[in-house]
Structure 1
Amino acid sequence: MAQAHILLADDDTVLAELLAEYLQGEDYQVTVVNDGEAALAASKTPKDMIILDIMMPRMDGLDVLKAVRQNDNETPVIMLTARGDDIDRILGLELGADDYMPKPCNPRELLARIKAILRRASTTDKKPATPTDKLSVGDLHMNLHNRQVTIKETALVLTQTEFDILQMLVQTPDELISKNQISEEVLGRKLGAYDRSIDVHISNLRRKLTESDVLSIQTVRGSGYLLHIQRDET
């Protein structure tokens, strides 16, 4: 099995080397850079995951993420956030980050999140395509093998996390899925008391589903979300 290649960008050289050494010990290939411009340059060659610190010289992590997402929505990104203000975390998710972790981060927890985010894509990509790899609901069609989604033949551009959340909703239309269930299955962690990450991913999905004539993501206050199908009553 080929090693997953991770780009780790952080100007804290001590932390970056510590995390790189730990991940390499877990059989990951790690490229370390210490500023935003170097991170953007390194991202232009294929990586399996990118870990971005927000506060970096020459170009901050949010600007790097924005530039990466202009051409690449498939490579998962985890943001490292040292600031206490949630606005940076929310903005990162809105720009297409898959998850975030506060600094200093526990290497074991970071490893768990990496494994969780990479797990679905790796298992999907390695098996041959079959009819069961396709899901359809209303005017939306999902191909689980190549991870493509269309609505009325228009392709949707989704991040890996958005795809995984949408897959959960499509598999059980009109059935409630709790936010904690989504977080545990897609992000590999329990949802914290003030964690809005799933809410932001859902908000991003809602914007992208506006092309549909019959589908909408509904919030069940205090519980979770469901994919609602508007059916013709005539």
Structure 2
Amino acid sequence: MAARLLLVEDDPAIARTVAYALERDGLAVSHSLLLSDARSLLRSHRFDLLVLDVGLPDGSGLDLLRELRQQGHGLPVLMLSAHGEEIDRVLGLELGADDYLPKPFSPRELAARAKALLRRAAGPAAVPAPAGSPSAGSAFHDDLAGQRVHLHGRPLELTRREYRLLSVLLAGAGRIHTRDALLAAAWGSDSESTDRTVDTHVKTLRAKLREADPARDYIRTHRGMGYSLEV
């Protein structure tokens, strides 16, 4: 069965070109011009990927992204924006976007990124923690089957990428993980994301851990080397 993709884009010419490129690669595409229509489609249909423009006539695509992540929705999201500003990319990634493509872009590149996100979403979530590792004891519990991490018995509200990062850090607690290693574990070895993506997600992950346990700073930054989790 073809993967189902929801494209939210208010420019009909761009939407037609993108839909053609995606459908030529075997993806089933539904198109919405407005956020309100996209919300209705997401409630009534199952999609494997969301391609979401930032600037839309009835609001910002970032608002829809925020709503999905607050609801714990793990749908992979590729953001589009006419601005190309770093602040837009960082905000989108902090809210839980999986990838970001500034306009103007090549429809073939968008199709390639969409397929890469679908492959990674279907792949293994993270490296399993060995028996007796700190993630099996101490303050953390990593529920690999449910893809949830509990801190002091309470579940953390994490995006899919944040969960993968934390699971890998827990599996090798105390060790320094390079950004390249974390990128490969959480995004896949064929990812076109960058070190900046890892840094942004670690920042939001660190904030959520600090909110759950203000007395501790679990993630340590090793300048020029990477990150470690201290339990």
TM range (shorter): 0.7 to 0.9
Give distance in 2, aligned partners of 1:205 and 1:50: 23
Letter in 1 for 2:43: K
| Matching residue of 1:155 | 155
Q: TM-score normalised to the size of structure 1? A: 0.80
> Per-residue displacement from partner, 1:128-163 (whole Å, max 9, x unpaired)?
xxx98x963532122222212211221111111111
Equivalences for 1:185-196 in 2 at 5 Å? Answer: 185-187=185-187, 188-192=190-194, 196=196
> Does 2:55 align with 1:40?
no
Give distance in 1, aligned partners of 2:33 and 2:209: 37
> Does 2:103 align with 1:103?
yes
Residues 119 and 141 of structure 1: CA distance in aligned 2, closer, same or farther (over 3 Å) = farther
| Matching residue of 2:17 | 18
Question: Are the counterparts in 1 of residues 62 and 92 from structure 2 also a CA contact under 8 Å?
Answer: yes
Partner SS for 1:51: strand
Task: Give the Å deviation of 1:196.
Answer: 2.8
Give distance in 2, aligned partners of 1:7 and 1:21: 13
Structure 1 unaligned regions, length at least 5? 126-130, 230-234
Give distance in 2, aligned partners of 1:222 and 1:166: 20
4-13 vs 207-216, greater mean Cα deviation: 207-216
Give distance in 2, aligned partners of 1:62 and 1:121: 21
Q: Using the aligned pairs only, state the percent identity.
A: 36
> Does 2:63 align with 1:53?
no
Question: Are the counterparts in 2 of residues 65 and 96 from structure 1 also a CA contact under 8 Å?
Answer: yes
Q: Tell me the C-alpha RMSD between the 2 structures.
A: 2.8
Letter in 1 for 2:70: Q
Letter in 2 for 1:220: H
Alignment match of 1:216 (pick from 215, 218, 221): 218
Partner SS for 1:69: helix
Task: Give the Å deviation of 1:112.
Answer: 4.2
Letter in 2 for 1:217: I
> Per-residue displacement from partner, 1:23-55 (whole Å, max 9, x unpaired)?
223332221112222222222233222111111
| Matching residue of 1:4 | 3
Q: TM-score normalised to the size of structure 2? A: 0.81
Give distance in 1, aligned partners of 2:112 and 2:173: 29
> Does 2:122 align with 1:114?
no
Residues 183 and 123 of structure 1: CA distance in aligned 2, closer, same or farther (over 3 Å) = closer
Give distance in 2, aligned partners of 1:23 and 1:191: 21
Aligned pair count? 220
